Amino acid sequence: MTELEYLKKYLHPEDNLEEAIKRLNNGEPLQYIVGDTEFYGSIFKVNKNVLIPRPETEELVEKALNLIPKVFNEKNLNILDIGTGSGCIPITLKKHLPDAELNAVDISRAALEVAKENAKLNNTNVNFIESNIFSNVNDTFDIIISNPPYIREDEPIMDIVKNNEPHLALYAKDNGLYFYETITREACNFLNNKFIIAYEIGEEQGESVVSIAKKYFPDAKIILEQDLRHFDRFVFIIRR
Ligand SMILES: C[S@@+](CC[C@H](N)C(=O)[O-])C[C@H]1O[C@@H](n2cnc3c(N)ncnc32)[C@H](O)[C@@H]1O
């Protein structure tokens, strides 16, 4: 489908096509122009305050959904998503795990507003918390899942991403590894005995994130997995 066909198909009837084409020509992503996008079969509102959900993150959710019954017998799991953005991860998990309690943090109040709207739109109950990683979290969890910012500050990225999507959602210090190091180091205070940590990672970060995982959880099972394009993309840290 061409970009114009996409606009014609998905632009809401109340929006003006000429205005939309102008925005497209100014380099704005189609999803922000239309105002929503599909993720794992559901519709999510998006605007410039949230990252546009990516297909790799759908894979993260799918892999987590496949892994969970292999680790846990119980259904009333307590789950935390760190850096929730549009809320696509916890809202989708809640739809597939209706007995689980879903919590999600983001440092961006504007992102959380979008996430809350999305929870309503999708008729799901998710507990959203404004928090710098764990700063306002006071609970323990069975599962911590995160697609954190992971782009190195000096890494070249496509203009359409750099000029439109929130830099707070993209870049991370320490070679892009800041969130993996911080979350994994502090996670022991927020996890139950049996747990899964599920990360989406940058394609060149597999080795580094696995070694961070080994450093803080030497006795856990650590799995590095590839996405559909065969790039390293996911790390799971599991204690049964
Ligand atoms: C890569 S985006 C992921 C958004 C969404 N989970 C997804 O997969 O589409 C990372 C998110 O982390 C949030 N974030 C950045 N720094 C944070 C921090 N210190 N604490 C919590 N969230 C943070 C950003 O606001 C952004 O929403």
Percent of the chain with pLDDT over 90: 100
Measured by CA distance, the residue closest to atom 8 of ligand 1 is 147
Q: How far is the CA of 72 from the centre of ligand 1 (A)?
A: 27
Q: Give Cα 227 distance to the centre of its chain.
A: 15
In a domain, residue 214? The reply is: yes
Q: Are 166 and 104 in contact (CB under 8 A)?
A: no
Residues in a beta bridge with 219? none
Cα(52)–Cα(123) distance, rounded to whole angstroms? 20
In a domain, residue 23? The reply is: no
Read off the CATH number of the domain in which 148 is found: 3.40.50.150
Kind plus residue range of the DSSP H or E element containing 137: none
Band of pLDDT at residue 65, cut at 50, 70 and 90: very high
Is residue 80 in contact with ligand 1, taking CB distance under 6 Å?
A: no
- The stretches of the chain forming alpha helices (DSSP H) are 3-10, 17-25, 30-34, 55-71, 88-96, 109-121, 159-162, 167-170, 178-187, 206-216
Band of pLDDT at residue 2, cut at 50, 70 and 90: very high
pLDDT, tens only, 3-16: 999 999 999 999 99
Number of domains in the chain: 1
Q: How far is the CA of 178 from the centre of ligand 1 (A)?
A: 12
Read off the pLDDT of each residue in 97-105 and give the average, rounded to a whole number: 98
In a domain, residue 41? The reply is: no
In a domain, residue 45? The reply is: no
Ligand 1 atom having least distance to the Cα of 146: 6
Range of the domain at 80: 54-239
In a domain, residue 3? The reply is: no
